[in-house]
A and B are shown apart, each in its own frame.
Chain A
């Protein structure tokens, strides 16, 4: 095993322009969609939405609103020239409501006015008439009422009944995980511009430009080639702009098409929080059987997912829950059932981790339960069941590496886990006010879109006659650094410096039929396609050079801005090479398409090879709990993670650190609250709290490389989603500390572990005795 510790990433001396995009961010020069200069005649849109969770819509009265100053048009479903159907996986979603209001925030009408303020004032004056109906706001009720998206899915392995028969210990219980708001800093935004009558350009802050293109065309009754979609970059997304940027882009497009004027639509923070979906809340029920040594013999679990009002991506999210039900553990007898339920919340959607956090928290809860019953530390059961090479998952794929074992043992040895645990247990025994605790979380996360067909990307590489290189990818930059990684791939292939490589904005005319930038695979798919395109160009250029210089091609290489011999002799400058190749009419552009090989999945048998590889890591989270006030500090997180060869250490470090803190937020303080009518209560930064700097832990990351990875450019590996899951252990660290103070307390397995829940668990008898 080769491994290395990443400390300070390589600094700017060696590559002064490596992170010039980031430099532009700090200089405020980076353009986001809302920063684009607005065309002179631009109209501003405001959306009229359902004020109730469930109702039959009987009338939309716009007569008053039409008289408001500045109002140009008020559009409803009747004004849609094409199809009103915008559901992707399931066709169950209308762009504008016709008769059915199914959640608070369901778009009903679009008001277009000369200013945003005028549009909002008129939108408030549009009256909706409706008959309210009883709403279903809770997943268990929805399941009882048989209100589901599709049938219950079922993964199994071994003989579950047999496993429980042999078990010495059996624990059973319930787990609830809550919604999580993406809280991307840039709210949903789009700008649609009509071009010569039958053609439209949409600037949209979306992770799925092709989905916006496809549905805009369908809504407007146009072919896809009449709609251009351009994405500059996103001010954060985390899954929240994969499916749910679409309605707002389509509404802007509708407005622009009907009025033949540019239309800008920006959601306010409150609108965005009220109207868009979140991470799916789950209710799950587990049964776990273990032998006397802590080996898990059987795991039986059912997941009920709150999908919200329409299918959106819920069934895909649910599928990943099934895939990750056993997380990082080799369990021989497994029975997993999962179903997505329809409620009257805004449709829940993709969020970093995509169904895995709910699955993994459930199994970790079951293990925690077992550990308490058996009187052993939780890590003991975790260690006894860690994945071994050769284990076959319930879905048929074999776990092939020993990366997880490497991460686990390295964490223990390098981070002195055993000593630290001993020390803090000893301190806690003296009954101090502030208690400390460490919780470990192992992770195994499958890398690929579980919808096999999405595992493809095209990249266009253009070498211009001055030697500079422009790249059009199928991926959207949203802070995850995919563009930096692509530039690294190009720089390595051509041996040129970063300042010569530019990644274009993502544009539907430059690369077509793009998969969403999601599932942690943006850099894998687009990096591999880039590699293919660059390799073709490189061999073409070297062949040209070989002929021109009469030098055998196998002894030529591109390095440090030159064609060199393998002895290091400079033969020709890159710029000169390019110019000469152009004059000799060599093709300097290449479009490559990459489709991840070896992927298949048979849903009738729930068996196959859905992932290119598994990403593995282990975290140790240390917290301090104030047993007097129930407040806590997540002090420190140590992580060992199998990253492969990093394409950009600074980007990868940032993904790890940022994902961990999002996971800690999910586990501890981020709480979505609804009132009894389905109205969101926590609808602002003031009421929905994400970690701030002082709340956040110090993080030390140890990236290891467990072996070659043929599915990532230069043996790199994915890192987008996995870090979030490694933050879940914060819940267990806090509850461990609570139990060191109040042994008898029953703490429900419920996220998030807020200071309120912690204090109530510390003093369970308070109400009873006083």
Chain B
């Protein structure tokens, strides 16, 4: 079959052959403003804006190197070329970044414009601090990022007020000449995109965002991969018998934005920025991250600590039963994670998540650690502690948890070492040696205890 989508306001029909968006843009379309520096979703240079049917109806910056053209059926794509105006008047963001010296060699430059638009479309506060986090997925080897910081300050001071007052940022951005008029066209709502349920599930590879799968296998081995996109027509989350059900098939960032807007699960926004880079979070789904079954998948560690339950199209699975081995799950062929249900007690827990990696953001963890603490009458009554990266899959530590029961949060932390040594089996690799991971595991438990002390102390702004 053929695929149809809009590129910069123009409809394109392409054959269903395996091809990455970045290659299609640069070769078939000769639109070379989108650059490829790493081709694995790490550098951010190939970001384009994509509006997907069924999502929240807005453009989001996504990595062009981790999207197949086939995955764009009924989507709209906006690239840097789409922002150039016919009257040759420079784009206001281009002028701003230029004036602040936010580029040198030029390879990462166009993507900064795309990332800025993504921020202006979705950033909840539009402060300079927020801008730095939202543009953090745009790596640069030349500038040292100070030009970007200066530009971010200018962007915030120039447009934040108008956008924060706006109920429809897309329309406002069009009025401000920051988005072209055709950005207003909604994507097709009657998606005819094939999904797993319509295909023969047994021969298909299920895609979430594809951000891991496209890295691991050549495209020609993924001809049977189909997106599990049917769920994207569902809301990002819902309440069900006091539980909060997260839509597993929503991109992680869109989900976080929706939760934040509804003031739900405040911890999610606090830790969300630690999961991959923003363009990847705009593509990758929470369900995909879980089903990928990585030993250091950040979401798995957190969801295990939260005692989540997975609802697939066939059954319910406690999250800790999902992973059966190194990158192995208990999911049957054709079985899809649709919802991730968080129990009501999550609302009255102290939740802390730490991730230690070489680079503090946009990196893969040496170890991560999540804790979900219950404190009554100044004593710990229950806790779930999970460490990822020190065993074939993230591991809950029930024996260690018992050591904390009954303790007041201002007590000295019991030495977790013996329990960690008994439970963990870390390996040495380029992200850390075995002995470092043992030491770090201990320190992460101490950091959990330190965080609990902060969270429960009087005057703390964070309450469960």
Contact = CB atoms under 8 A, between A and B. Distances in A.
Interface residues of B, number: 85
Interface string A176-200: 0000001111110000000000000
Given A628-B446, A694-B133, A686 B40 contact: yes
Interface in B21-60: 26, 30-35, 37-40, 42-43, 45
Interface stretch (A153-161, A389-397, A758-766): A758-766
B94 A756 contact: no
Nearest to B429: A681
B359 A759 contact: no
B81 interface: yes
B366 A26 contact: no
Contact of B356 (A9, A23, A755): A755
Given A9-B101, A479-B142, A669-B359, 4 more contacts: A32-B35, A629-B440, A685-B43, A694-B360
Interface string A1-30: 000000011011000000101111111111
Contacts of B32: 28, 31-32, 34-35
B27 to A, nearest CB: 8
A479 B142 CA distance: 7
A691 B90 CA distance: 30
B142 A681 contact: no
Interface in A37-71: 37
Given A658-B144, A699-B144, A185 B105 contact: yes
Interface in A677-714: 681-682, 684-687, 689-696, 698-699
Interface in A649-696: 650-651, 653-654, 657-662, 669, 671, 673, 681-682, 684-687, 689-696
A268 interface: yes
B361 A22 contact: no
Q: Indicate the size class of the contact surface on chain A.
A: 35 or more
Interface stretch (B246-254, B261-269, B430-438): B430-438
Contacts of B330: none
A571 B37 CA distance: 52
A770 interface: yes
| Residue with the highest number of chain B CB atoms closer than 10 Å, among A236, A433, A633 | A236
A27 B33 contact: yes
A21 B98 CA distance: 9
A682 B430 contact: yes
B360 A631 contact: yes
B136 A693 contact: yes
A660 B139 contact: no
A87 interface: no
Contact of A692 (B361, B440, B447): B361
Interface stretch (B108-116, B222-230, B300-308, B331-339): B108-116
Interface stretch (B146-154, B175-183, B394-402): B146-154
| Residue with the highest number of chain A CB atoms closer than 10 Å, among B107, B357, B430 | B107
B80 interface: yes
A8 B147 CA distance: 10
Contacts of A559: none
Contacts, number: 243
B141 interface: yes
| Residue with the highest number of chain A CB atoms closer than 10 Å, among B38, B363, B364, B366 | B38
A485 interface: no
B143 A654 contact: yes
Contacts of B103: 22, 25-26, 479
A481 interface: yes
| Residue with the highest number of chain A CB atoms closer than 10 Å, among B42, B94, B141, B144 | B144
A689 B359 contact: yes
A268 B36 CA distance: 10
B329 interface: no
A693 B132 contact: yes
B164 interface: no
B22 to A, nearest CB: 12
Nearest to A723: B144
| Residue with the highest number of chain A CB atoms closer than 10 Å, among B101, B147, B415, B450 | B101
A478 interface: yes
A481 B361 CA distance: 30
Contacts of B442: 766
B45 to A, nearest CB: 6
A630 interface: yes
A482 to B, nearest CB: 11
Given A32-B107, A630-B443, A26 B112 contact: yes
| Residue with the highest number of chain B CB atoms closer than 10 Å, among A187, A479, A480, A660 | A479
A480 B418 CA distance: 54
| Residue with the highest number of chain A CB atoms closer than 10 Å, among B39, B415, B443, B450 | B443
Interface string B60-88: 00000000000000000001110110000
B110 A28 contact: yes
A661 B436 contact: no
B139 A692 contact: yes
A481 B358 contact: no
A269 B41 CA distance: 12
| Residue with the highest number of chain B CB atoms closer than 10 Å, among A233, A235, A699 | A235
Contact of A27 (B40, B91, B141): B91
Contacts of A9: 101
A679 to B, nearest CB: 12
B145 interface: yes
Interface string B206-236: 0000000000000000000000000000000
8 residue pairs, one from A and one from B, having the closest CB atoms: A28-B33, A479-B105, A25-B106, A479-B104, A661-B144, A685-B42, A657-B144, A235-B107
Contact of B366 (A690, A698, A756): A756
A567 interface: no
Contact of A185 (B35, B358, B363, B366): B35
B135 interface: yes
B165 interface: no
A136 interface: no
A630 B99 contact: no
B95 interface: yes
A137 interface: no
27 contacts: A8-B150, A22-B109, A26-B91, A26-B97, A26-B103, A27-B80, A27-B84, A28-B33, A29-B84, A32-B32, A32-B107, A185-B108, A233-B105, A235-B37, A235-B105, A268-B39, A479-B105, A654-B104, A657-B146, A658-B104, A681-B430, A684-B38, A690-B139, A691-B144, A698-B149, A760-B435, A767-B438
Contact of B45 (A11, A185, A687, A694): A185
A234 interface: yes
B138 interface: yes
B39 A269 contact: yes
B417 interface: yes
| Residue with the highest number of chain B CB atoms closer than 10 Å, among A8, A681, A694 | A694
B362 interface: yes
A754 interface: yes
A692 B362 CA distance: 8
Nearest to B439: A766
B43 A185 contact: yes
Contact of B81 (A28, A481, A685, A760): A28
A478 B421 CA distance: 51
A669 B113 CA distance: 28
A671 B358 contact: yes
B443 A759 contact: yes
| Residue with the highest number of chain B CB atoms closer than 10 Å, among A32, A689, A754 | A689
B105 A686 contact: no
Nearest to B359: A689
Given A23-B98, A24-B106, A760 B149 contact: no
A401 B147 CA distance: 32
| Residue with the highest number of chain A CB atoms closer than 10 Å, among B135, B140, B359, B430 | B359
Contact of B436 (A681, A699, A756): A756
A696 B359 CA distance: 10
A658 B149 contact: no
B104 A685 contact: no
A756 B144 CA distance: 24
